[in-house]
């Protein structure tokens, strides 16, 4: 008899099966995931990954007999009052005799109609963010996204003394000394002691010993303790180091004209962007800048929570952003993303200033700049000529001039996710759509 402890075996034996299953239900699962994103609060996204897929795609058909057709026999336990020849009314629902003998087939069919299962957060986000891509990453990867780092790469025979690999050098020297039979120190001291003794006693072998000592000395002089050929230096090799850090600038107009609804829309968009960036970068920082007619950097709480009054001066936020970039986030080290939300109001005289700021400073530093114009819940009235806000007109002119600037309008929170997908969707899939 053997006892085998399998508990320490790696788990997840059925993971490949699960992957195959997910691949199978991918389309439906993806739809379900996006549905749930629309309904649920974005904060809870992926926390409870329970989704339901219709049983159709994952049905495993077998030849089986239809219950409730033809002549059926039931043998049942627990007879109390029946005698032979009694008539029993059929139970409703076409089920089998007595209690539930016929239920097997029906029941399993129903349970196959919809299939529930739970996705892990990883799987959920994978499906959720699939075919989204960071814009222009490819273009900039060569130029900016990578820097050079140094890493150890073996040893070299030349180098600066600071990089001397001591133990490696001494190891080489020892093997060389052994191979060339360099006299050991003990050997020579022993010989010297013998010579001293021979001198005292007047041993006739003294000249021999002296000669021997001389030879040893000569030899040890010719075979140095450390030779230049023993030297080894630690070698460092430069390698391209991707910048795995990103900073996300959230710019928002908080003037009186921004309603709670608009802020909520903006918040949802920021959260999506944050989830998305955290999937791509190890390290993501967020900078919140809110502005009325002057801009300040605030924490998240204040950003979404408190109200301000005052006019609207978009360029103030852009100036603030430029300052922060210059101070803390050098574009060489950071991938910079910016998302601006506003209801579109701006002092008309501010237009040229903003344009200039964006064109000259902000856009060149950014990987992506998205402008989200949030509107009333009721949205633009149908049949109305689309109203263009001041800010929209300003940015539109920029975008038309070929600047990398994405802009969308959002009125209802159900539009957030589609708009987000539009902004970040893979270009080829977008072309198909």
Partner 1 sequence: MVASLSRKTSAAPPAGELLFSGNDWDFHTIRRIHDACEAVAGPELGLSWYPNQIEIITAEQMLDAYASIGMPLFYKHWSFGKHFAQQEASYRRGLMGLAYEIVINSDPCISYVMEENTATMQTLVIAHAAFGHNHFFKNNYLFKQWTDAEGILDYLDFAKGYIARCEERYGHQAVEQVLDAAHALMSQGVHRYPRKKRPDLASEQRREREREQHGEQIYNDLWRTLPAKAGAAKGDPALERRKALLELPQENILYFLEKVAPRLRPWQREILRIVRLVAQYFYPQRQTKVMNEGCATYCHYRIMNALSQKGQLSEAAYLEFLTSHTNVIRQPNFDDRSFGGHNPYALGFAMMQDIARIVEQPTQEDRDWFPDIAGTGDAMGVLRDCWENYRDESFIAQFLSPKLMRDMRLFHVVDDPDEPEMRVEAIHDERGYRKMRRSFARQYDVAWLDPDIEVVDVDLEGDRRLILHHKALNRITLQKDDARRVLQHLADLWGYDAVLKEIDPASGAVLVEHTASARPIFF
How many C-beta atoms lie closer than 10 Å to residue 136's C-beta?
Answer: 12
* Smallest gap from residue 50 Cβ to partner 1 (A): 8
Q: DSSP string spanning 225-238?
A: SS-GGG--EEEEEE
* Smallest gap from residue 81 Cβ to partner 1 (A): 10
Please state whether beta strands 283-291 and 295-298 pair in parallel, antiparallel, or not at all (unpaired).
Answer: antiparallel
Structure tokens at 257: 């004209």
Nearer to partner 1, 20 or 152 (CB): 20
Nearer to partner 1, 15 or 150 (CB): 15
Nearer to partner 1, 4 or 179 (CB): 4
- The CA distances from residue 424 to 180, 191, 370, 427, in Å, are 69, 84, 10, 8
* Smallest gap from residue 128 Cβ to partner 1 (A): 18
Nearer to partner 1, 108 or 257 (CB): 108
Q: Are 332 and 307 in contact (CB under 8 A)?
A: no
* Smallest gap from residue 325 Cβ to partner 1 (A): 46
Calpha distance 206→199 (Å, rounded): 7
Nearer to partner 1, 8 or 162 (CB): 8
Tell me which residue has tokens 């004209």.
257
Q: Are 51 and 26 in contact (CB under 8 A)?
A: no
* Smallest gap from residue 64 Cβ to partner 1 (A): 5
Residues belonging to the chain: 433
Nearer to partner 1, 117 or 155 (CB): 117
Instruction: Produce one character per residue of 400-410: b if its CB has 16 or more CB atoms within 10 Å, e if not.
Output: eeebebbbbbb
Q: Are 284 and 278 in contact (CB under 8 A)?
A: yes
Question: DSSP strand E in 168-323: where?
Answer: 233-242, 245-253, 283-291, 295-298
Nearer to partner 1, 91 or 404 (CB): 91
* Smallest gap from residue 40 Cβ to partner 1 (A): 19
Half-sphere exposure of 276 (CA within 13 A, CB side): 22
Please state whether beta strands 368-374 and 335-342 pair in parallel, antiparallel, or not at all (unpaired).
Answer: parallel
* Smallest gap from residue 125 Cβ to partner 1 (A): 18
Nearer to partner 1, 17 or 167 (CB): 17
Q: Are 128 and 37 in contact (CB under 8 A)?
A: yes
Instruction: Give me the residues that bind partner 1 (CB under 8 A), please.
Output: 1-9, 11, 13-14, 16-24, 58-66, 69-80, 82-90, 96-101, 103-105, 109, 115-118
Question: What are the phi and psi torsion angles at 218 (to 5°)?
Answer: -55, -45
Q: For residue 104, what is the DSSP state?
A: H
Structure tokens at 374: 């949030």
* Smallest gap from residue 18 Cβ to partner 1 (A): 4
């Amino acid at each position: 008899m053997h006892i085998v402890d399998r508990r320490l075996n790696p788990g997840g034996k059925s993971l490949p099966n699960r992957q195959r299953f997910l691949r199978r239900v991918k389309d439906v699962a993806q739809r379900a995931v996006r549905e749930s994103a629309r309904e649920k609060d974005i904060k809870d996204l992926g926390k409870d990954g329970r989704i339901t897929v219709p049983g159709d795609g994952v049905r495993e058909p077998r030849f089986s007999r239809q219950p409730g057709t033809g002549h059926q026999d039931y043998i049942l336990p627990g007879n109390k009052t029946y005698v032979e020849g009694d008539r029993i009314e059929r139970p409703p629902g076409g089920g089998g005799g007595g209690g539930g003998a016929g239920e097997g087939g029906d029941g399993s069919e129903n349970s196959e109609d919809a299939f529930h299962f739970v996705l892990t957060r990883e799987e959920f986000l994978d499906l959720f963010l699939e075919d989204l891509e960071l814009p222009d990453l490819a273009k900039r990867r060569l130029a900016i996204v990578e820097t050079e780092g140094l890493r150890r790469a073996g040893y070299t025979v030349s180098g600066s003394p600071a990089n001397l690999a001591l133990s490696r050098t001494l190891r080489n020297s020892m093997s060389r000394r052994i191979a060339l039979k360099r006299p050991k120190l003990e050997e020579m001291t022993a010989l010297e002691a013998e010579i001293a003794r021979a001198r005292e006693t007047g041993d006739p072998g003294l000249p021999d010993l002296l000669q021997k000592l001389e030879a040893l000395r000569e030899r040890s002089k010719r075979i140095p303790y450390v030779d230049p050929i023993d030297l080894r230096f630690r070698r460092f090799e430069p390698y391209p180091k991707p910048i795995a850090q990103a900073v996300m600038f959230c710019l928002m107009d908080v003037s009186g004209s921004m309603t709670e609804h608009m802020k909520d829309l903006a918040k949802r968009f920021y959260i999506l962007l944050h989830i998305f960036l955290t999937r791509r970068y190890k390290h993501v920082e967020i900078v919140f800048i809110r502005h009325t007619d002057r801009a300040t950097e605030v924490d998240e709480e204040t950003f979404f929570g408190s109200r301000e009054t005052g006019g609207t001066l978009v360029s103030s936020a852009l100036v603030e952003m430029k300052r922060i970039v210059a101070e803390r986030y050098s574009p060489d080290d950071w991938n910079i993303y910016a998302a601006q939300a506003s209801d579109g109001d701006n002092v008309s005289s501010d237009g040229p200033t903003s344009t200039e700021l964006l064109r000259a400073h902000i856009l060149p530093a950014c990987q992506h700049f998205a402008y989200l114009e949030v509107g009333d819940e009721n949205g633009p009235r149908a049949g109305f000529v689309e109203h263009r806000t001041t800010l929209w007109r300003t940015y539109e002119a920029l975008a038309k001039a070929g600047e990398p600037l994405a802009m969308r309008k959002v009125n209802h929170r159900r539009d957030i996710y589609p708009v987000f997908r539009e902004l970040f969707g893979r270009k080829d899939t977008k072309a198909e759509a």
